[in-house]
Amino acid sequence: MKTLKSLICALLLLPAAKVLAEGPVTLYAIGDSTMAPNTKCDEDPGDPGRGWAEPLQCFFDPSRLIVRNCAVSGRSTKSFINEGRWQKVLDRIAPGDLLLIQFGHNDAKKSDPKRYTDPETTFKENLRRFVTEAREKGATPILATSIVRRLFNKDGSLRDSHGRYVPAAAEVAEELNVPLVDMNRLTGERVLQYGPEESKKLYLYVEPNVAERFPDGNADDTHLCIRGAEEFAAIFVEACVEAHNPLGQYVKPIPDL
C-alpha cells in the first residue's frame, strides 16, 4: 500500500515540470474540518490532526499550481456562504483557477439551523451556487463527496453516515457536468482494506498526554491524523489523474512504487 511519504520522496527526484509562461494557477479548496488545515499544530507539535487538503500541494509543482486550502472546521455549505467565506474566495478566483468543493458532514446537522441544509433542496442549491459563480469567474469547479467515517458494522462493513448528501453531490455534478471525485467510495475502500482495528491509524486517535488539546487522549472516527490526510490526499490525486479531469494535468508524475 502506497504512502504519501514514499510518493513524495520519489516525486522530489523527478525533473521539474516546465513552467507556464502565465504563471501558476490556483486550486482553491472549500469545505469542512475533514479538509481544513490544523492551525494549531505549529504550537503543539504533538497534535496529529490534519485535513486531507493539507498535503495536496506535495503533488503539484508550485510553479504550475498553488493550493489554497480555504476549508474551515465546522462549516456547512450554508454557514460557509452566510459567514462571507465563500465571497472572500470568489473575490480571489481568477480565470484558469480551479475550485475543489467538499461539504456534507455539517450540512446534515438538523439540530443546528445555522448549518443544516436539506440534501434535496438547499444543499444542492448551495453546491450549484459554488459551481455557477466559480464558472462565471472563469474557474473550473470539481466536486468531491464527503470522506467516509470510520464506523464499522458487526459484519465488518462500513455504516453509511451521510445519507442523501453523497448522492446529492453526485447528482449536482451530473446535472452541471462537473468533474466528480467520489471520495466517500474511495476512502471507504481504503478503510476497509485496513480493517476495523488498523484503520484507526488513519483517524484522530491520540494517546493521553501527547497533544495539548487532548490531555486525556482522543478517539475520533471522523477527523484524520497526518497519515490519514496523506493517504486520502493521494487517493484524490490519483482519482483525478485516472479520470483525466482538469486538475489531473497539473499533477507531477506518480511512479509505481
pLDDT value of position 20: 39
Would you state the pLDDT for residue 46? Answer: 86
Among 162, 200, 216, which Cα is nearest to 184's? 162
- Calpha distance 51→223 (Å, rounded): 7
Average pLDDT, the chain: 91
Residue 132's Cβ-side half-sphere holds a number of Cα atoms within 13 Å equal to: 8
Does residue 139 register a pLDDT over 50? yes
10 or 191, greater pLDDT = 191
What are the distances in angstroms from CA 53 to CA 18, 104, 180, 207, 226?
24, 16, 16, 24, 11
Mean pLDDT of the 156-162 span: 96
Whether residue 231 is predicted with pLDDT greater than 80 in this model: the reply is: yes
What is the rounded end-to-end Cα distance, in angstroms, of the chain?
Answer: 9
Residues 65, 89: Cα–Cα separation, whole Å: 17
* Spatial strand order in the sheet of 65-69: 65-69, 25-31, 98-102, 140-144, 180-181
> What is the Cβ-side half-sphere exposure of residue 130, based on CA atoms within 13 angstroms?
33
Residue 256's pLDDT band (cuts 50, 70, 90): low
Residue 176 burial (CB count, 10 A): 14
**What pLDDT sits at residue 44?**
85
Tell whether the model's pLDDT for residue 13 goes beyond 50. Answer: no
Which cell numbers in the block locate residue 59? Answer: 503533488
Look at residue 16 in the predicted model and tell me its pLDDT: 35
| Local structure of 7: helix, strand or coil | helix
Query: Does the pLDDT of residue 67 top 80, yes or no?
Result: yes
Residues whose CB falls within 8 Å of the CB of residue 217, separated by 6 or more in sequence, listed in order: 206, 207, 208, 210
Whole-number Å distance between alpha carbons of 71 and 36: 5
Burial class of residue 214 (count of CB atoms within 10 Å of its CB; 0-12, 13-18, 19+): buried
Dump the DSSP string for 195-235.
Answer: HHHHGGGGEEEE-TTSSTT-TT-EEEEEEE-HHHHHHHHHH
* pLDDT at residue 41 greater than cutoff 90: no
Q: Is the pLDDT of residue 215 over 50?
A: yes
pLDDT: which is higher, 60 or 39: 60
- Cα–Cα distance measured from residue 235 to residue 183, given in angstroms and rounded to the nearest whole number: 8
The pTM of this model reads 0.89
What is the pLDDT at residue 43? 79
